[in-house]
Structure 1
Amino acid sequence: MDGIIFDVDGTLWDSTEAVARSWNQAIEENTDFSLSLTADWLKSLFGKTMDEITLALFPSCPKEERDRIGYLCFNYENRLLETDHGVLYPDVALTLESLSQKTDLYIVSNCQCGYIEVFLKTMGLGKYIKDFLCFGQTQVPKNESIRLLMERNHLQDVVYVGDTSGDFDACQKADVPFIYASYGFGDIPYPPRQIGAIGELPALLGL
């Protein structure tokens, strides 16, 4: 195995409470909307691309206005997460430390630029992750981002660990084996392989 690629939200941590606070602040300070977001609502949106999230939240706005609001929300989010951290799932740090001694670890997410960096910095996990890509960098669907990361790291034999049907679909399109994190945000009825906790991953992979 060349490596393991991870999703972030719903797979490694849950930042929805903090993100909801940051987005509500951005919307209140920069728009006339009375929209109030909740963590549960965001869980239904996380995993989608930035463009898809802003369209779901502000469907009546012209694209230019959606982009403006989205830019502000994502910037407020990155700043708040520096101090108001997301919640790491149990045993994530220990599992990544153990796996990193046996294979290379990567991240591919549909998030904005700066988000993965904040996650790795605040959780102290940067030393375990060799490389990452996000939608903010590539502006392409997740399956293409996965392939781009594989190409630049010369990867042939990898698995992707994620929690949503979007992750599963991306892996099918990218021709990459998928492992479903059933403790996350999504619901996949018949996943090929699954884990109920991140700590189950090494045994599943024989590492």
Structure 2
Amino acid sequence: MSASLKNQFDSIIFDLDGTLWDSTGNVALAWQAAINEVDYIDELMTVERVRSITGMTYDSIFDKLFPNLTPSQRAEVQTLCGKHELEILHQKGGELYQGLDETLNQLSKKYKLFIVSNCQSGYIEVFFKISQMEHYFIGHQCFGTKGNPKAENIKDIVTDHNLKAPVYVGDTMGDYDSATKAGVPFIFADYGFGKVENGQVATISNFTGLLEML
């Protein structure tokens, strides 16, 4: 990997799903449990369906997954999914990507680390509980906090923590678009769930690749 990005940044902002861990299997179980509680949905929630909406805001996810429901039905399902999701992930968690602890440990010695995700409130806290890696991060922001899109939450992190040269690491085109709107360079994690063809300052094929690059 190129060493051209060394000493260019003072901070790293991470996406969560598809970048730090993969929780899609247990999220699918949780959402299926929610679906089973209502009598107006007769379909299966698969890992593939969950991955197809990863990176979208929590509200937009349910608009896309259940376009034929009434607003009240969709709101009910979203509430049930959110409840089951946090409950199951508290128990089962997600799959941490290989080398996560070691890599964050080394990066935290040189950079300020943050998380910005489009998840619901409480989700990042579950990740911290399962991974035991909260101590590496200075702050975090999510869609559920203020209902703002990811670009605005990235801007908030940059402003609130007076970051001078941040970089964002994510795995979807939505992540790239959000970072670009926030004026932050983007590193593409191609081991995740999405595709970014161009525009990124670098691409990593595994999480530990950040150590050599940064």
| TM-score, normalization by structure 2 | 0.93
Is 1:41 equivalent to 2:45 in the alignment?
Answer: no
Matches of 1:112 and 1:31, distance apart in 2: 25
Structure 1 residue 136: Cα displacement: 0.3
1:195 aligns with 2:207: no
Aligned residues: 205
Q: Is residue 14 of structure 1 aligned with residue 22 of structure 2?
A: yes
Query: Is structure 2 residue 194 aligned with structure 1 residue 183?
Result: no
| 1:65 matched to 2:73 | yes
Runs of 4+ aligned structure 1 residues displaced above 3 Å come to none
1:60 Cα deviation after fit: 1.3
Q: SS where residue 68 of structure 2 aligns?
A: coil
User: In percent, how many aligned pairs have the same letter?
Assistant: 42
* In the alignment, structure 1 residue 115 sits paired with structure 2 residue 123: yes
Shift of 1:2: 2.8
- 1:188, distance to aligned residue in structure 2 (A): 1.1
Q: Mapping of 1:1-207 within 5 angstroms?
A: 1-190=9-198, 191-205=200-214
Q: Secondary structure at the match of 1:29?
A: coil
Which residue identity lines up with residue 61 of structure 2 in the other structure?
Answer: I
Aligned-residue Cα RMSD (Å) equals 1.1
TM-score by length of 1: 0.96
Q: Deviations over 1:96-124 (max 9, x none)?
A: 11111111100000000000000011111
Partners of 2:162 and 2:74 in 1: CA distance: 37
Change in Cα spacing, 1:36 to 1:120, as seen in structure 2 (3 Å) is same
